[in-house]
Amino acid sequence: MYGRITRAFKVLISVAAVAGILTGCISSSSTLTDAPEKLEKSISNGKSLIPDITRDTLTLPDKELASVDESLKTPAKSTVSNKTEEKEDVIGGSLIDPAKYVPDPSARIKIVLDPGHGGVHSGAVCDGLREQDLNLKVAILCRNYLITHYSDVAVFLTRSTDRELNETLKIDLEERANVAEFANADALISLHFNASENHDANGAIVYVSKRDNVNEESGMLGDAILKRLEDLGIENHSISIRDSNDLFDTSGNPYDYYAINRHCAAKDIPGIIVEHAYIDSPIDRGFIDSEEGLAAIAEADALGIAAHFELTLY
Ligand SMILES: [Zn+2]
Write the pLDDT tens digit of every residue in 203-227: 999 999 999 999 999 999 999 999 9
Q: Determine, yes or no, domain membership for 49.
A: yes
**Residue 255 φ/ψ region, left for φ over 0, alpha for ψ in the -120 to 50 degree band, beta for the rest:** beta
pLDDT, position 26: 61
**Is 265 among the domain residues?**
yes
pLDDT given at position 288 = 93
Handedness of CA 140, 166, 117, 189 (dihedral sign): negative
Helices (H), 112-156: 131-149
* End-to-end alpha carbon distance in the chain: 21
Q: What is the CATH number of the domain that holds 249?
A: 3.40.630.40
Domain that holds residue 62: 2-309
Based on its alpha-carbon atoms, the radius of gyration of the chain, rounded to whole angstroms, reads 18
Q: Are 248 and 255 in contact (CB under 8 A)?
A: yes
For residue 166, pLDDT over 80 is answered with yes
Cα(131) to ligand 1 centroid in Å equals: 7
CA of 93 to the centre of ligand 1 (A): 32
Q: What is the pLDDT of residue 214?
A: 98
Q: How close is the Cα of 192 to the center of ligand 1, in Å?
A: 4
Residue 272 within any structural domain of the chain: yes
pLDDT tens string 64-121: 333 333 333 434 433 344 444 444 333 344 667 888 899 999 999 999 999 999 999 9
State how far the Cα of 226 lies from the Cα of 240, in Å rounded to an integer.
12
- Which band of pLDDT confidence, cut at 50, 70 and 90, is reported for residue 24? low
Span from the CA of 216 to the centroid of ligand 1 (angstroms): 23
**pLDDT greater than 60 at residue 57:** no
Residue 169's pLDDT band (cuts 50, 70, 90): very high
Query: What's the length of the chain?
Result: 314
How high is the mean pLDDT of the chain?
Answer: 79
* Nearest-10 crossing angle of helices 215-232, 291-309: 140
314 is a domain residue: no
In a domain? residue 150? yes
73 located within any domain: yes
Rounded to the nearest whole angstrom, what is the distance from the C-alpha of residue 307 to the centroid of ligand 1?
25
Residue 148 has pLDDT above 50, yes or no: yes
- Contacts for 7 with CB less than 8 Å, ≥ 6 apart: none
Q: For residue 314, how far is its CA from the centre of ligand 1 (angstroms)?
A: 33
Residue 124, helix vs strand vs coil: coil
Q: What is the pLDDT of residue 97?
A: 85
User: How many angstroms separate the alpha carbon of residue 91 from the centre of ligand 1?
Assistant: 30
The answer to the question of residue 300 being in a domain is yes
Residue 98: the pLDDT is 87
Cα 39 to averaged position of ligand 1 atoms, centre (Å): 13
Which position has the higher pLDDT, 146 or 19? 146
Cβ–Cβ under 8 Å, residues 188 and 274: no
Q: Give dist(CA 163, CA 20) in Å, integer.
A: 32
Q: What is the mean pLDDT of residues 36-42?
A: 37
Domain contains 270: yes
Q: Which residues make beta-bridge pairs with 206?
A: 239, 274
Task: Say if residue 151's pLDDT is above 90.
Answer: yes
Q: With 90 as the cut, is the pLDDT of residue 155 above it?
A: yes
Q: Distance from CA of residue 174 to its chain's centroid?
A: 15
9 CA from centroid of ligand 1 (Å): 23
The total of structural domains in the chain comes to: 1
pLDDT digit string, tens, across residues 239-257: 999 999 999 989 999 999 9
Distance 194 CA to ligand 1 centre (A): 6
106 three-class SS: coil
